[in-house]
Amino acid sequence: MAKSLLIVESPTKARTLNRYLGKDFIVKASVGHVKDLPKTKLGIDVENRFKPEYQVIRGKKKVLKELSDAAAKADAIYLGPDPDREGEAIAWHIAEELKANGKPVHRVLFYELTHKAIKEALQRPGQLNRNLYDAQQARRILDRLVGYLISPLLWEKVRRGLSAGRVQSVALRLVCEREREIQRFEPQEYWSITARLAKRPAEEAGGGDQDFLAKLWRCGKKKAEISNEEEASAIVQAVQGRIFRVQKVEKKRRQRKAPPPFITSTLQQEAARKLRFPAKKTMRVAQRLYEGVELGDEGAVGLITYMRTDSTRLADEAVQAVRRHIQETYGKEYLPGRPAVYKTKSAAQDAHEAIRPTDVFRTPESVKDYLGRDELALYTLIWKRFVACQMAPARIFQTSVDIGALPQGRNGEGGSSAASGMDYIFRAAGSVIEFPGFMVLYTESTDEGDKGEEDEEAQSRLPDLREGEVVDLKKLIPKQHFTQPPPRYTEASLIRELEEKGIGRPSTYATIVSTIVDREYVKQNRRQLTPTELGFIINDLLVQHFPDIVDVEFTARMERSLDEVEQGASPYIRVLEEFYSRFQETLTEAQRDMLNLRVAGLPTGLSCPQCGKPLHIRFSRNGPFLACTGYPDCTFSSNYERDEKGAIRLVEQETTTELCEKCGSPMVVKQGRFGEFLACSAYPKCRNTKPIGMGIACPREGCDGELVERFSKRGRKFYGCNRYPDCDLVLWNRPVAITCAQCGSPAMVERVSKKGDRTYTCARPGCGYKFSDT
């Protein structure tokens, strides 16, 4: 008896489905895309309505043959790649290549991999969605046109190997503009004055004073703005010895509602803040949780719903289940009268749900023995956020107290225009959580830049104060502050910014930051994103010559146009034609007008210290450097750095005692893209370079070389011998100068666990001796 064939894109997903479907289905995996545009040419016939020239991806002919053979034996074909644009393209290309021979071809959408959801999807299959496929095609063609036509121009004008992307270039612009905003920022001094006050103990109650803090809020009728120490000192002097009387007490209750369930962007942001996960890692781990995890006797189970979504919608069945869990676990008071419903933005794909656990009763505790550390951490985050979003709001009791510092002999009536007679109002604020609600389980994190300056005088509770009550002054605390520049983007805050501006979609957020980092346009330091010199230059060239490509609003309009294609409201050919008509004209002008940095370099406004001619930024395989425009008459070159304001300053060359083995000139220390290296001082006549030795002898027996740091083509650090290629020793962990107790090797390899435990292994091939230092 013939079986039905179900094709999905992932082997893991196929295994999970196979467990549920049993003998009636053959489940196969395409292992991702099977067709794409060619790598060696544009692959788009611009003159023929932008017809794409798709090719079977290398290595996929065998996969397609297996799928075709299985299709020939099946009575029906079901295509079940992911329910989004990329998944639709995979399904469409598989359908084009299969020999269906008139057999029915169905499209099935799996939003979660549970027995009930799989059964329902197969009972109600649909057809291939042309609009969804066209939206993916349009995006792919747009990205190819931008990348394939601008990148060669950057190769020609700047340096080989550079590239530009449609969405990534906008992200780079945001990072560069933020950095320049920081460079332009001029800190402004200001002061605060905090009073440490004490409520007087009641005579009948006994006990000590109840201290609290209040900040100067108003000077007379104006808001307190103190510019310098002199003004602060004058106020402190004027306030000393005054009566501090409570003038106003305001108490109110407010509710703090739970955040909505996760969508793709908010999951990436919160995982970055709470778990320190890069967006790509978050999506990689979420994919495993969605496709299925082995849970002992249960077999493979999909633990979360589909993770590429911009909808906050929740299935009624899931809501009822979580409400039952909340009542059983936390009690009736934590269950609101009706389910919480969260607003979804207008462009969201509401056929999708929010990201949630497929079974709320499958708690993190119950599955922890089957999950890796990263999987458990992410699942716990998703599970808690989902449960919290249906819990009762927290109730917070807030108190605000205004306290007047009044001259002796006055009861707070009227005021004085003289500085010494001016009324000063201090404000104390406190809050108490009366009922934690959802906060008993989950609180949302914030980006560092959203927190503002730390308030050291923050307090949670105030003593019971009444209007007219006199309190005692214990101490006045003046403090100097400076205004802060806007914070640098983190991956989380950049994704949030892109989402708010309508740039990118759930399937693209994860690759945006990793792409500009991999291209060395941006570097990450303590999670902050900073443009590199190359990133600034590429951004400036694109802004000058391709203003539309890096324009935030233009890119957001293109995203909305792609959404219209998906909804069937606009033909994708029209979107491509409107884009290309402007882009082609801009490209022609850029080819003619863009400054050729490979020939002329980039002007800096600095003069050569040897001959006085202008210094320009030039590029080598080791990165940017300064060179004199008087070359070859003047051969001056230098590394450089930028100060906090972005101004260029020369870095003095460090001359070593080592001589160049090719020409005999002294070797100097230079800075390259992967750190310091040695270069011949006779450059450009002699271009000899070599890595700097680590001072550790090569551990290979019979070799008299020295270990050096090196970098692979992908930028990964490793350690090798400076006698290469005569000695091809490679170490991927850091060597240390410890003598092996077993073989006498001068080096051992150090490994440090995440707990800080250190293990040392002999670096000599074939020894294997190791010890731990815990």
Q: What is the pLDDT of residues 596-612, one digit of tens each?
A: 888 888 899 999 999 99
Write out the two tokens for 400.
């605000």
Residues 6+ apart with CB under 8 A from 427: 214, 215, 217, 400, 401, 402, 403
220-261 per-position pLDDT tens digit? 889 999 999 999 999 999 999 899 999 999 999 999 999 999
pLDDT over 90, % of the chain: 68
Distance (Å, whole) CA 121 – CA 56: 29
Distance (Å, whole) CA 366 – CA 705: 55
Question: CA nearest 679: which of 663, 695, 703, 700?
Answer: 663
Q: Calculate the average pLDDT of the chain.
A: 89
The CA-based dihedral angle spanning residues 468, 474, 480, 482, taken in that order and rounded to the nearest 10 degrees:
-50
Instruction: Confirm if 197 and 474 have CB atoms less than 8 A apart.
Output: yes
* Distance set, CA 249 to CA 415, 538, 767 (Å): 20, 57, 76
pLDDT at 179 over 90: yes
Residue type, 42: L
- Alpha carbon of residue 748 to chain centroid: 36
Q: Supply the pLDDT for residue 418.
A: 43
Distance (Å, whole) CA 311 – CA 705: 60
Instruction: Confirm if 626 and 533 have CB atoms less than 8 A apart.
Output: no
Q: How confident is the model at residue 536 (pLDDT cuts 50, 70, 90)?
A: very high
Instruction: Confirm if 746 and 697 have CB atoms less than 8 A apart.
Output: yes
**Could you give the 3-state DSSP secondary structure of residue 558?**
helix
Q: Supply the pLDDT for residue 448.
A: 57
* Distance set, CA 115 to CA 19, 27, 296, 360, 687 (Å): 9, 15, 17, 15, 66
- Alpha carbon of residue 698 to chain centroid: 40
pLDDT at 206 over 70: no
What pTM does this model have?
0.81
Burial of 363 (0-12, 13-18, 19+ CB in 10 A): middle
Q: Supply the pLDDT for residue 2.
A: 67
Q: How confident is the model at residue 346 (pLDDT cuts 50, 70, 90)?
A: low
Q: How confident is the model at residue 203 (pLDDT cuts 50, 70, 90)?
A: low
Helices and strands (H and E) in the chain: how many: 17, 37
Residue type, 19: R
Instruction: Confirm if 637 and 628 have CB atoms less than 8 A apart.
Output: yes
Distance (Å, whole) CA 762 – CA 718: 16
Question: CA nearest 285: which of 300, 275, 299?
Answer: 275
pLDDT at 207 over 60: no
Q: How confident is the model at residue 657 (pLDDT cuts 50, 70, 90)?
A: confident
- As a whole number, mean pLDDT of residues 130-152 equals 94
Instruction: Confirm if 486 and 130 have CB atoms less than 8 A apart.
Output: no
Instruction: Confirm if 89 and 143 have CB atoms less than 8 A apart.
Output: no
Q: Supply the pLDDT for residue 714.
A: 66
Please indicate whether residue 521 is annotated as part of the active site: no
Peptide bond into 684 cis (omega under 30): yes
Distance (Å, whole) CA 512 – CA 448: 21
Long-range contacts formed by 207-215: CB under 8 A, 24+ apart: 209/472, 209/474, 210/463, 211/474, 212/428, 212/430, 212/459, 212/462, 212/463, 213/428, 213/457, 213/459, 214/401, 214/403, 214/426, 214/427, 214/428, 215/426, 215/427, 215/428, 215/457
Write out the two tokens for 638.
């230098």
Question: CA nearest 428: which of 210, 192, 194, 201?
Answer: 194
**Could you give the 3-state DSSP secondary structure of residue 135?**
helix
Distance (Å, whole) CA 493 – CA 501: 12
Distance (Å, whole) CA 587 – CA 45: 17
The one catalytic residue in 306, 442, 509, 521 is 306
Distance (Å, whole) CA 333 – CA 74: 55
- Kindly report which listed range (99-108, 398-407, 538-547, 604-613) carries the lowest average pLDDT score: 99-108
* β-strand pairing of 105-107 with 77-79: parallel
Q: Supply the pLDDT for residue 510.
A: 84
Instruction: Confirm if 649 and 642 have CB atoms less than 8 A apart.
Output: yes
In the block, tokens 């060239």 appear at 541
Q: In degrees rounded to 5, what are phi and psi of residue 412?
A: 95, 5
Helix axes 509-518, 491-500, angle to 10 degrees: 130
Q: Centre a 10 Å sphere on the Cβ of residue 529 and count the other Cβ atoms it contains.
A: 24
